[in-house]
Amino acid sequence: MGVKVAVIGGGSTYTPELIEGLANRADRLPIDELALHDIDATRLGIVGGLAGRMLTRADWPGHLTLTDDREAAVDGADFVLVQLRIGGQAARLVDETLPAGFGTIGQETTGAGGFAKGLRTIPVVLELAEVVARRAAPGAWIVDFTNPVGMVTQALIDDGYRALGLCNVAITLQRRIASWLGVEPDAVELEHVGLNHLSWIRGVHVRGVDRLPELLASHGAEIAEEMDLPLEAFQRLGAIPSYYLRYFYTFDEVLAKQRDGHTRAQEVIDIESRLLDMYRDPTLDQKPALLADRGGAFYSEAAAQLLASLHDGRGDVQVVDVRNDGAMSELPADAVVEVPARIDREGAHPLPQRPLPDEMRELVTQVKDYERLAITAARSGDRSVALAALTANPLVGPRTRPEPLLAALLEANRRHLPRFFSPQ
């Protein structure tokens, strides 16, 4: 019997990546209906048109539905994928530019910008989850690709929803490492540990042998340059840090670039405009090469593989954001962590990880404490809790005055944060 997959935020320029992945796994994931939902009818029509042509090209046997009705999209779904951007790229531009004026980094998933995005996003995703609970198939899974993935997934799991978070960082590193080692990607098992966008590769296992020391010795400088991180950090830790740790390890350099006016948001706005022009072409029936510049590399593989494994119970190991349940001894059982997990029909079963060294442990526990406070603030609209969250954030509290920064962030996001501006 086939399944129904609903994609909330189906008008995203990422969607063709997902379409490709699902079409390629029709043998493991027989989809009867793929529903793309978006509140922007124009974008949905453009992206949905390309999706339809791609599926026709692939001789995909299911039915594609485009809708702006959220409940209709979710109705009877076995899997609900969430890829939202509340406020669009315009809000992202604010996330990346406003904090620099207060002496800290602006970024869409971490630091002050990630905090603002979390405040905008968490209430919307939790509202969606209520619809899933009422309208989706029994036992439906929510798979979150919406940033900040760790916080959003934590909020969902805290409320008892059947949810997992997904990020493309681990699979992208796996593919890149495989190329450096000259082996097939499936032969590489990563010892990936931490939180979303705060993780390290502590082992690279190929047929039972950890080849990380060899990799760092032969390609360390190349990897550091590609990831825009100092080689010294790799050598000190004996690990490969996530690209996103550059905001912690090279704070001053990143802030200086941002003050010079460089933003990823403006790059993405330009790329998305070009992509949508391409998607309008009625002869285009495959994802364009430019999509690789948008980010989200291997998203299609990660998402499709996760859904397929949840459906057929294959039991393979994938890196996901999941309830800790003892995998990382440094954090409580109910903390959401990003680690390898064995995936079957019952869900993701996190694999035990080695204890973290002091430097990693301190940063992970600080950021998890911040995430908990930020989630509470997003739910409640309590400004005192929001201030406590910003103060606890290691990219904010120790580096700038949180009070005026919070006031500016809330005002800039006023129309997306009704809880913070409701009458007392």
For β-strands 336-344 and 317-323, DSSP reports them as antiparallel
CA distance 266 to 236: 34
Tokens of 348: 């993701």
Neighbours of 333 (CB within 10 A): 10
Residue of 89, 161, 151, 88 lying closest to 127 (CA atoms): 161
Q: Are 164 and 320 in contact (CB under 8 A)?
A: yes
Residues with catalytic roles? 244
- Dmax of the chain from CA atoms? 62
Secondary-structure breakdown of the chain: helix, strand, coil percentages, each rounded to the nearest 5:
55, 15, 30
CA distance 22 to 8: 15
294 DSSP assignment: G
CA distance 223 to 233: 12
Q: Are 35 and 11 in contact (CB under 8 A)?
A: no
* DSSP assignments along 357-401, one per residue: PHHHHHHHHHHHHHHHHHHHHHHH--HHHHHHHHHH-TTTTTTS-
CA distance 394 to 250: 13
